[in-house]
Structure 1
């Protein structure tokens, strides 16, 4: 498990889920008015703001501490940070991933939820990692605090696995 994942030891009701990247994967369907694009370094402040907005514990500190830690991490690859952009050009959702096949975060802005963005982002993650030769993708979630996300992951065919993977 990656160092940043270990730093946050599992809390009560946390679970590790896995998606096997087999031939049953389907392409993402992007909701009308949204497009997916790759991360660019100029997106870092908007990504941090989205994580601050979406997660109870924010983005793990202020931008000036968070960004150097993320950008300098050996597991970070900008090509594995998937962004959903709305019709106004604003960041509506993101799925930054570690190169080891771990979805670090899945975040959809509250105003853009219930349109399929989270599902589209996850399907993009699955296909990209399969294209890179990965056999599975993992993530951590909390089944009590993040019930909607947990239901999404179940619908996508993710299954519980041991913490050690």
Structure 2
């Protein structure tokens, strides 16, 4: 799916009790655990913690400033990890906060970051079966640009 960043964007508005924090060594394990939890609900996969964390140092697509972390009083509540190629690699909202606008705000944050980098579009992939994610992406103005089977029949 793709979001055209030349179109008007919604402002980033975090629900009450939430705050954006920088991705850091201190919250990296909690961020990774949330990504692993997200695979249980929405599919996909995340590498083991060490491989994933090391990619921030060795993979040019990984950029700590493009890993948007949101916390609530209980800890890491939502994360969007984006690649430098204007691609949203992973986005997860903890089940305790789903349906409260956190995903929309997180996407707005990612859209703003890429617009500031003079990107025209932001892309992501989503599983056909992940209906709640697809509805969220459609609500924030993302459109389908290609559909493909993961494992051709």
Normalised by the size of structure 2, how large is the TM-score? 0.87
- Offset, 1:87: 2.4
Structure 2: distance between partners of 1:59 and 1:49 = 12
Structure 2: distance between partners of 1:123 and 1:143 = 22
In structure 2, the residue matched to 1:141 is 126
In structure 2, the residue matched to 1:35 is 19
User: How large is the RMSD of aligned CA atoms in angstroms?
Assistant: 1.7
Residues 1:127 and 2:117 aligned together: no
In structure 1, the residue matched to 2:53 is 67
Structure 2: distance between partners of 1:114 and 1:80 = 24
Structure 2: distance between partners of 1:38 and 1:138 = 23
CA change 1:58–1:19 in 2 (3 A) is: closer
CA change 1:55–1:71 in 2 (3 A) is: farther
- Offset, 1:23: 4.5
Structure 2: distance between partners of 1:46 and 1:114 = 21
After TM superposition, the structure 1 = structure 2 runs for residues 94-133 of structure 1, keeping only pairs within 5 Å, are 94-133=79-118
- Offset, 1:71: 3.9
Structure 1: distance between partners of 2:102 and 2:90 = 14
Any unmatched runs of 5+ in structure 2? 148-153
- What secondary structure does 1:83 align onto? strand
Structure 1: distance between partners of 2:106 and 2:57 = 21
In structure 2, the residue matched to 1:79 is 65
In structure 2, the residue matched to 1:160 is 144
In structure 2, the residue matched to 1:7 is none
- 4+ runs of 1 displaced by more than 4 Å? none
Structure 2: distance between partners of 1:110 and 1:160 = 25
Structure 2: distance between partners of 1:18 and 1:133 = 16
Q: Paired residue for 2:31, among 36, 47, 51? A: 47
The number of aligned residues is 145
Any unmatched runs of 5+ in structure 1? 1-16
